[in-house]
Structure 1
């Protein structure tokens, strides 16, 4: 087991230090320039389209798809991951988290637009994602199967054990509750939701996500207002530390870059290939709409929630103390700001953040199980495996599991980035089609033939209702 841990750690160090960081930055910049800065130019448009309702009753709306992906994005990475990045990489890691989100927004736009273009019908709903656009867009089913296996294992199983582990530790520390009891409670709640199908997942996340993010951001705003005079010096510290100006605080320049990008990707998932699985579920008149909405999800995760955690930690000064990292650092920072009840508050936030991630992560596995083979038996076995990993993760020591999660996440991202680079021209053409219709004063409607593609399941024939509106 120790040898396996060393091998996985070596692979992680190589992939994260060289291959993935270079790919993420290159692809983010490439898509940013090729889309003419879509993540900034159409920021207002993101808010306009997110409020649209689906025409077909019972379908999943753009907003619900946004909540499914946000449920997965906004998890322990926003609390424990940000704290870990600061403790190991210093305050400068926050800047690199911001940067990877800003340029990664373009990668997120491309992958989510492609997921919508190549989605398939699933009764009254839809499913899709990287595996589907690898098969239909690239004609490489083998590539899709590899991706489907990686995401099912990493998100559906490994990441869910990590999320459950964080919940039980937080409750044990805050309330002195036995981890077994908390683990059983999480497992039962998970089973109730995931055995209800994707619609129940959408409903659950649409309730949990706004509540958890709203509560957390309100506390962060309070902390910022009560420390308003220290905010300028905090921003100065982040920028200086990011470029190695002045004395190092908590880490070297290299550590700041690597930890910021690594934890930023783990949190916002831009380019990783996970969020497109949620993006494909929405019923929209044009794929670009969901591409824009998922870009907003990257900004919500990193620029709002991750920044909230970072600001509270940096303004507290707790990150300079020895022996504090992860969720313990976040709890200590909040305690310094709001008093003794912070530990309990963080534990509740951890529960909401991590449990919503369990639900969102589960769905990513489900849609990829369906891609490999549409089988009720396989889906039932997968659901049992998810429940089993939740209870196991609630009680296990997870050093090896965390390392496996990082390795699988890196492999997923690399495969997905290669695929969206090869299919980028399809997303660029869809964006041009969308903006042309918007400039004509229309509500854009997509037809696959208009951009010269075929082999789509949902866009070959017009949606009559959408055509009437346009």
Structure 2
């Protein structure tokens, strides 16, 4: 077992420290320039489209519901426990690098989600798509799509769900003394009730849970910030001084701090990883860029808003460094300091909601990719049973080796997706130019016609202009 752990650790160090971070940063900057800073230019438009996307069409997944599915997967235990680990491991300056990677990476998120919309296909219930589909149709590389589908199913459908369940069980055991098996059975039952209902039930559950729990958590964080408003300038100064401080440079900790902050940002918002496009493809919109912009907003929501809430709760806790705690225990201790004994209970409840929403969102990514490899209905049901089983298993088992293996699989998945979106990105840029031109021409609701895009082939859903106009 120790030999296996060493191999996995070596692979993770090499993959994440030398390959992935360089790819994500370089491509993030490239996409930012090629889209003319789309994540900033269209920030207001993102909110307008999100509001527009709340209107429902019977039997269809709205753009708001697709946004909620992807945000449900993005927002997990890492937003609470992971930020605490980043601060203790890398110092307050890690938060700055987390912010920076979110701002840069959001351009990658726009490209991958727009491509998912362009190359989506129709299934019996609506639309389906994602990296596996644009690898097959856009690059004509079926093997690449199958490889990605297998990797994302292992990561999200099984392993990450086990990790989420494990964190929930630990939090409730610490806060209430509830047996981990009991929590596991409750989580497994809730998961089964949702995932056997199909993607529309997943969309409806995510649409309810995500705004509510994210809103409550943000309000509590705002209360902490307002009641400690006099300390806020010092906290910002601490973050920026630590990010560029002489002390960090002279002690040789600058590189490690940057690495931890960037990794935490990437793990949290998943920009460029190839996960969110699976949800983006399900939405009913009149132009692919619409969903690309909405999914870009998800990166801001996850990292700039929710992760920052956790960071401020901890950094406004004067003795956070002296507690000897990290992870979920540190966040619980910090909030207990701010609001009293209810703090630990509130964090436990938030962890439950964060993790459950992630389980639901993660499951959908696995299901959509099982569809890509043509798994029949019986196979899908077996997959669902295995997902429920992994939730129960994760709640009662130590899963460190499983988590480490998941990092390897996710890293490989991200490398494959980044190569694909680098090769296909030009079509996302053309789609954005088309959207911009129509908006400038006074067209309130732009329509996408793939037949007008030179070189764009194997597109199923965007050539029937009459049908597309009905959507608008």
> TM (normalized to structure 2)?
0.97
Q: Are 2:452 and 1:450 equivalent residues in the alignment? A: yes
| Counterpart for residue 464 of structure 2 | 461
Tell me, what secondary structure is at the counterpart of 2:59? coil
Please say if residues 134 and 140 of structure 1, whose CA atoms lie closer than 8 Å, have aligned partners that are also in contact. Answer: yes
- CA positional deviation for 1:463: 4.2
Q: Are 2:28 and 1:28 equivalent residues in the alignment? A: yes
Please say if residues 168 and 394 of structure 1, whose CA atoms lie closer than 8 Å, have aligned partners that are also in contact. Answer: yes
| Counterpart for residue 187 of structure 2 | 186
| Counterpart for residue 304 of structure 2 | 303
1: CA distance between counterparts of 2:465 and 2:74? 33
Q: Deviations over 1:142-176 (max 9, x none)?
A: 00011000000001100000000010000000111
Q: Deviations over 1:379-430 (max 9, x none)?
A: 1111011011000000111211221121112111111110000001010000
Tell me, what secondary structure is at the counterpart of 1:390? helix
| Counterpart for residue 18 of structure 1 | 18
| Counterpart for residue 85 of structure 1 | 86
1: CA distance between counterparts of 2:245 and 2:403? 29
Q: How does 1:47-446 map to 2 (within 5 A)?
A: 47-53=47-53, 56-246=57-247, 252-321=253-322, 323-442=324-443, 443-446=445-448
2: CA distance between counterparts of 1:250 and 1:64? 47
Tell me, what secondary structure is at the counterpart of 1:126? strand
Q: Deviations over 1:221-277 (max 9, x none)?
A: 001001111111111111111123346999921221111111111110000000000
- CA positional deviation for 1:319: 3.2
* Distance change in 2, residues 1:395/1:223 (3 Å): same
| Structure 2 unpaired stretches of 5+ | none
Tell me, what secondary structure is at the counterpart of 1:324? coil
- CA positional deviation for 1:123: 1.9
* Distance change in 2, residues 1:387/1:34 (3 Å): same
Please say if residues 317 and 334 of structure 2, whose CA atoms lie closer than 8 Å, have aligned partners that are also in contact. Answer: yes
* Distance change in 2, residues 1:15/1:362 (3 Å): same
Tell me, what secondary structure is at the counterpart of 2:316? helix
> TM (normalized to structure 1)?
0.97
2: CA distance between counterparts of 1:161 and 1:368? 19
2: CA distance between counterparts of 1:297 and 1:250? 36
* Distance change in 2, residues 1:303/1:448 (3 Å): same
Tell me, what secondary structure is at the counterpart of 2:122? strand
| Counterpart for residue 5 of structure 1 | 5
Q: Deviations over 1:195-245 (max 9, x none)?
A: 110000000011110111011000100010011111111111111111233
Please say if residues 285 and 471 of structure 2, whose CA atoms lie closer than 8 Å, have aligned partners that are also in contact. Answer: no
1: CA distance between counterparts of 2:281 and 2:10? 35
Q: Supply the RMSD in Å over aligned alpha carbons.
A: 1.6
